[in-house]
A and B are shown apart, each in its own frame.
Chain A
């Protein structure tokens, strides 16, 4: 199984800050057939179900603000929030969809400083 490791586990931020969080996979998520990275990012606010932010490592889901930026390739990926807003305080999970079993990282919790 592909193991997903997210760091940090939690991060205290102030509104307007630039935030980056990391997701590393135990195997490459780059599929040679199409040169795409099979990595997704989700946001989960307290008491809510997860919401898709990014798929194929860098493609923003429709309706997701452009301050959310996914990047990386192979085994190293990053989610950047260019200017954190109060409504961005949530848990963030990465997920590899390269091969079964689908696996998630343990999450990064964004908290208010």
Chain B
């Protein structure tokens, strides 16, 4: 069974940094592109970042480019999101998600999410 378990969320002041982690199990982690998707309170879904199987390619929307960094450790079956220069609009539940094993980048599996609150 595919499992994705996020951790690292919490309350952080504007301008500070936070690192999220996602522990994956139930599949061969190194074979799949992985991603982060967020959801602000009572709002819709927003894609945040995607990383290739080896970690050599990363993709971001303009809203987080230059502030957020996605990375992975295939030996530990773990995904990370380093978030710097946080803003109030980054307040959201952050989901770790797995892409399919075939061409296409929809989100086949999701974790339960971790809440990040950016506030002074």
Q: What is A's interface to B at a CB cutoff of 8 Å?
A: 1, 34, 38, 40, 42, 49-52, 55-56, 61, 93, 95, 97, 100-107
In the complex, which of the residues B108, B111, B113 contacts A61, with contact meaning CB atoms closer than 8 Å? B108
Q: Which residues of B contact A103 (CB under 8 A)?
A: 47
A95 to B44, CA, bound (A): 11
Is B106's CB within 8 Å of the partner chain A? yes
- What 0/1 readout, one digit per residue, does chain B (85-114) give for beta carbons within 8 Å of chain A? 000000000010000100111111111110
Contact between B107 and A42, CB atoms less than 8 A apart: yes
Interface size for B (C-beta < 8 A) is 23
A102 to B95, CA, bound (A): 15
Contacts of B46-80 to chain A: CB distance below 8 A: 46-47, 50, 59-62
Q: What is B's interface to A at a CB cutoff of 8 Å?
A: 37, 44-47, 50, 59-62, 95, 100, 103-113
Besides A52-B107, A104-B47, 18 more A-B contacts (Cβ < 8 Å) are A1-B61, A38-B106, A42-B45, A42-B107, A49-B111, A50-B95, A50-B110, A52-B109, A55-B104, A55-B108, A56-B104, A97-B106, A101-B60, A101-B61, A103-B47, A104-B44, A104-B45, A104-B46
